[in-house]
Chain A
Amino acid sequence: MIRTEEMLLNVGPQHPSTHGVFRLVIKIDGEMIIDAKPVIGYLHRGTEKIAENLQYTQIIPYTDRLDYLAAMTNNYVLCHAVETMMELEIPERAEYLRIITMELGRIASHLVWWGTYLLDLGATSPFLYAFREREMIINLLNEISGGRLTFNYMRVGGVKWDAPDGWIEKVKAFIPYMREQLAGYGDLVTGNEIFLNRVKGIGQYTKEEAMDYSLSGANLRCTGLAWDLRKNEPYSIYDRFSFEICTADTGDAWGRYQVRIQEIEQSLRILEQAVEQFPETGEVMGKVPKVIKPPKGETFVRIESPRGEIGCYIASEGKKEPYRLKFRRPSFYNLQILPKLLVGQNMANLIAILGAIDIVLGEVDG
């Protein structure tokens, strides 16, 4: 007689494959997951509460620490919200610098995901390639902002620093290099049969489920819905560039992989056009009052971060500090579907499913 019983298994919060301090309590019956309960909040720093006592410019460094793999988009969403409230005009050159840094950040973020996801699946070398290329982007961003991870680069009304001499040329030179490497990634991983067997049909959901669970970014696009805020609700100067919305129709981990890899290529396309159109001269900071006081009222803006739809809600009383600040953090929303995806799956697929969602715990916990 074989005796079977359920077992409670605790994953994390300190575990490398959870990409941060994420805890998961799962119930297993043999090899099958029958229940899963995510436990979050280990990295909750109360950013929204802290922000209530800070002036808008002082909040920008805190946004760096939400999604620390793509801090530029976080910087931008706050500035964009304040600028929308105050109806500020942003100089051309600043807009281009913003786009260039944000798209570089998007590539860097997808590279980290690509490297660590394959590491999760047991392939060590892609990680090294990904971080080699990412390092070049980090160096570029370091040169313009003075930071490698937390840039604190954007300001309400523009950006803090102008591009140093020769920086645009460096970005220009990086684009063909990255293209070549991207093709190499395809040879190394994308066609690999072991990899394909590992990710195809894993963590699958339909378009309706994705919409129900408020998924966004690659998690939504992998179900075939062409939805990208850069294209559908253009902000900044994204309407000037031609690029495509990358989609897949499988709705599984393989689909998400394809979408992210294609997005690197599309970001390179945007970068190519942006450095081409980059204005020779001009201001990088618009005409902004010394003390930033958005008028009384409220705003909610959303933009496309590498992880999905990041939003910023501000309720202002016309003071220097926001009355209430709220970030719509894509990782927080995307992670909700995890228990649904895990139940009924084999234990071995746990990490493959979690990794494919692409979460950053700084963003999940706020």
Chain B
Amino acid sequence: MSEKDKEQLKKEAAEKARAAAQRKREEREKKKEKSNDSASEMPQTTEDVTSNQDLEKQKAAAAAKAKAAALAKKKAKEAEGTETEPTANQDLEKQKAIAIAKAKAAAAAKRKAKNANENGDSEKAKAIAAAKAKAAAAAKAKGKITQAKETEVSEPITPSPQQPILDRYLNIVKEHYKDDILEDSYINRMSKHVPTIVVKLEHYYSLALLFKQHSGLHFEFLSELHGTDFETYMEIYVHLYSFKNKQSVALKVKMDRENPRVDSIASIWPGANWPECEAYDLLGIQFTNHPDLHRIMLGEDWVGHPLRKDYEPYDVEV
């Protein structure tokens, strides 16, 4: 096989993979729309409910269930009504009937809300108790994660111990640039409170250079560099550390997903060389001015970039 044929084959394969990815994406979107439609009616549509017919059926079933529940409720009320009436003679027969009615009412209530309280006097109290129990159970089930989240939302957020450090970084950046070169800056509490700075694409290189050379920042150690495909954009995450100041910073830059291109920082930190090759290999991010950008893991003849979310594997054998 000549080089040209190979090239052609590769191109075709890439085309195929792209088409498959496109198909997949469309399918996914379709699914999403459908689930949005039914979200208001159904508690959670399962994967297999795809056709409208099924949906219609389920809806009908739900309506029927609701009707039945209402009937049961009515009956229960009647039964309870007889219960509250002052009974003159303590007839065994009557007591039995009351008991049965009670049980029925309880069952109905149970069906309605799983955790009905049997001690409730009236249907209303029962319903309230049931709702309460349900809420409690739900809260319990959600567990620690939501608890933590809720407390974070409800409590006034205490400033992070790293906040002054971030402010110091921002002041230094402000001193050196007239315009606003940052997209965002925040404390990432989930990442051991690391100060995080999101820089605009065109200022990424110059800010990185400042981070290394400025005596107040002095990030001489590049701990980590990698890219992520967030579907609407691509992102590079750089974790820097300063042995002099004993501080870290997370530097991020976002770029266009279709044509991801960013300046290489391998000339600032030679340690960024291979990680950038890895990001190029697995995500297709182009690093301009990189000393030797190559597909470090998969080899030059690999089709596609596997860590992209729409990647379709291509195999000559299949």
Contact = CB atoms under 8 A, between A and B. Distances in A.
Given A41-B299, A211-B221, A289 B228 contact: no
Interface in A182-211: 208, 211
* A-side interface size class: 35 or more
Contacts of A232: 246
A295 B190 contact: yes
Interface string A323-346: 110101000110110000000000
Interface in A47-88: 48-49, 84-88
B169 interface: no
A352 to B, nearest CB: 23
B269 interface: yes
A302 B223 contact: yes
Contacts of B149: 295
Contacts of A304: none
Interface stretch (A101-109, A264-272, A309-317): A309-317
A365 interface: yes
B235 to A, nearest CB: 9
B78 interface: no
A213 B237 CA distance: 18
Contacts of A244: none
Interface stretch (B12-20, B140-148, B253-261): B140-148
Given A311-B239, A333-B271, A41 B143 contact: no
A287 B190 contact: no
A84 B223 CA distance: 19
A44 B297 contact: yes
Contacts of A366: 297
A273 interface: no
A301 B144 contact: no
Nearest to B307: A49
Contacts of A214: 221-223, 269, 271-272
A166 to B, nearest CB: 35
B296 interface: yes
Contacts of A328: 223-224, 226, 239
A160 to B, nearest CB: 21
Nearest to A287: B144
**How big is chain B's contact interface, by range?**
35 or more
B19 to A, nearest CB: 21
A208 B148 CA distance: 42
Nearest to A318: B145
B190 A298 contact: yes
A225 interface: yes
A313 B192 contact: no
Interface in A136-181: none
Interface in B101-147: 143-145
Nearest to A316: B190
A300 interface: yes
Contacts of B222: 214
B273 A336 contact: yes
Interface string B67-96: 000000000000000000000000000000
B220 A212 contact: yes
B243 interface: yes
Contacts of B221: 211, 214
Contacts of A309: 223
Given A41-B298, A214-B269, A300-B194, 15 more contacts: A84-B190, A84-B191, A84-B192, A212-B271, A294-B145, A295-B190, A297-B190, A297-B191, A300-B191, A300-B224, A300-B239, A313-B224, A328-B224, A332-B275, A333-B271
Interface of B: 143-145, 148-149, 188, 190-192, 194, 220-224, 226, 228-230, 237, 239, 243, 246, 250, 269-275, 278, 282, 296-299, 306-307
16 contacts: A44-B298, A49-B306, A84-B191, A84-B192, A88-B144, A211-B220, A295-B145, A295-B148, A297-B191, A298-B190, A300-B237, A313-B237, A315-B230, A324-B229, A328-B226, A333-B274
Interface of A: 40-41, 44, 46, 48-49, 84-88, 208, 211-215, 225, 227, 232, 287, 289, 293-295, 297-302, 309, 311, 313, 315, 323-324, 326, 328, 332-333, 335-336, 365-366
